[in-house]
């Protein structure tokens, strides 16, 4: 007797094998069974498409917002820049960490706020409202 769903599990194994061998596999979609599967390098990000030169000192950390519509970067120049991600134009440049390198940031899950932290001499964490670019706390 053939076990139940045997054909389905065999086909799943074929797909798994393809995905494992596919070096540039970068899609969540299940591969089609009509053709052997192989992702090409052309569809994989390998090219520097855009350079953003707004910071005036080392850029320490970058993080996309949870929905991908914004990108925030922190820098030794004590500022945080928030870009929108269609054209990477600046939405806000936040400058209130006085004289301290901003080293890390995190987006709130609803992307309404970010929290940033900095080194000496300020040694503080600040919460910012992203829509307005205003320091909240």
Site residues (CB under 8 A) for another protein?
A: 9, 12, 15-16, 19-20, 23-30, 41-68, 71, 73, 75, 77, 85, 87-91, 93, 106, 108-110, 112-113, 115, 117, 125, 127, 137
Q: Beta strand pairing status for 90-94 and 134-135?
A: unpaired
- The distance of closest approach from Cβ of residue 52 to another protein in the complex, given in angstroms and rounded to an integer, is 4
Radius of gyration of the chain (CA): 22
- The distance of closest approach from Cβ of residue 107 to another protein in the complex, given in angstroms and rounded to an integer, is 9
- The distance of closest approach from Cβ of residue 108 to another protein in the complex, given in angstroms and rounded to an integer, is 5
The token pair at 100 is 């301290």
- The distance of closest approach from Cβ of residue 1 to another protein in the complex, given in angstroms and rounded to an integer, is 22
* Dihedral (Cα; 10, 11, 17, 18), 10-degree rounding: 160
Q: Which is nearer to another protein, 29 or 35 (CB)?
A: 29
Residue 99 contacts by C-beta under 8 Å, 6 or more apart in sequence? 78, 121, 122
- The distance of closest approach from Cβ of residue 2 to another protein in the complex, given in angstroms and rounded to an integer, is 18
Q: Which is nearer to another protein, 99 or 137 (CB)?
A: 137
Q: Which is nearer to another protein, 21 or 98 (CB)?
A: 21
> What 3 state SS string does 92-103 have?
EEECCCCCCCEE
Q: Which is nearer to another protein, 95 or 98 (CB)?
A: 95
Q: Beta strand pairing status for 80-84 and 125-129?
A: unpaired
């Amino acid at each position: 007797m053939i076990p139940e769903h045997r054909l389905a599990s065999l086909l799943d194994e074929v797909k798994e094998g393809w995905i494992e061998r596919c070096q540039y596999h970068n899609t969540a979609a299940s591969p089609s069974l009509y053709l052997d599967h192989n992702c090409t390098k052309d569809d994989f990000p390998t090219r520097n498409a855009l350079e953003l030169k707004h910071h005036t000192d080392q850029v320490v950390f970058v993080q996309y917002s949870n929905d991908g519509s914004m990108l925030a970067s922190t820098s030794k120049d004590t500022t945080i820049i928030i870009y929108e991600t269609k054209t990477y134009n600046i939405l806000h440049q936040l400058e209130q960490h006085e004289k301290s390198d901003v080293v890390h940031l995190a987006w709130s899950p609803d992307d309404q706020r970010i929290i940033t932290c900095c080194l000496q001499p300020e040694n503080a964490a600040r919460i910012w409202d992203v829509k307005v670019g205003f320091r909240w706390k």
